[in-house]
Structure 1
């Protein structure tokens, strides 16, 4: 089967090509892009499109690569030994399977999402090199080797917050999700909000894209924030005329859904002040 997108996810041709190439090569697909451009959702939609279950591993700053394989709970075993529990004689009772182990032992091919890998320590990707390459790892406490029954489709996302090691990059198929163009944005919106009034959609997209083009923004609003904003506009029953602003008013209606820090709000207030002075 080939991934072409779903009825809930618009996949540009170059993204579909990247997904299918990674599946064919049996390489992890490393997806980078702005936060909110649908990287995590891509893995879920690939799973839905290809008819596979998905296993999600959401990486945090404290996450260690070993946790994706397994964890040995020595503290619980010590406590049980003090209580005379017979379970202590079987070390396997204290092995907690990680997300990679779950994907490797699945009885069918799965999609494994490793989400926001750049949040973790720089050594995190290096510590997974062999496991993702050979699709196996050793459990030292039990002496067994866990091998993938079916090689999973691995999707790795990154917000580009830090550089990833070259040795890790060499093992991946890479794709950068560019911010959608206006026509693609329109298709995405119509997918989520069918029947949206054309005039409202055109005006909202114009203001949204104008806002993104303002130089000096600390955080540009993303596709997900556009969808949140439109949801609010619909909830308030606003139309295109309600969105049109005075020349000296730079901030769009309900801008809190689009601008997420005080520096960007202050920037627009400054621009509005300058526009009012020039209009005098």
Structure 2
């Protein structure tokens, strides 16, 4: 059935293995678990640095886990994102070397976190980022730390939904800043995959009727105005899976101190994710500006 096939491609869990650990990068860490407000168990790592500054990294969706993206086990369409592994522990390493403690976790239905339904492109996953912040704030060693968010693709969608839909986000006085990497709404992603509209519609209908997941309505864009911390937006000019006008609208709707960093990279969606691990200077400069 075409509808099921398209729905599986977009929202089915289980394509995001955890394929390496911080031990490979000689970082001290501990395995952690915490629960969201709706009772989902989230798995992650706490990579240990200074106790007064913490970065929470959230990854992109469906094909990714806390450790990043691996081509192993992926099909042709998934491999079109990038043709080699993208280890997110590379940016964790330079952040940790700069003194940051880094909490990185698998969103629900990804990696080793609890599989509890279907991927919702950030709307339900917002509860995971909220739980991660609460975990830091309740931790005896890190409860007084300043927090920054490194929110990547669906991770930034989850963060944006959280700012708009979770009132507690506005009450975290120690949440200081966010880096938003390649904002992407579901509709633009699907449209730019080049699928015939009848296939897109079939997938959306199946997701809604069979999996109770409606991805055809408003995305996170109405909540951008609710983001309450200084935000750096990073976007590849040559990203083939988005609409740059949508990204520009996201940036325009931010009402906080903000900067836009345009990258001129290869014409692949994941080029910017690969760039992230190899270019520490703009990332460290932004976080150092607000976390001190």
Give yes or no for TM over 0.5.
no
Higher helix content, 1 or 2: 1
The structure with the larger Rg is 1
- Give TM class, smaller chain: under 0.3
Higher strand content, 1 or 2: 2
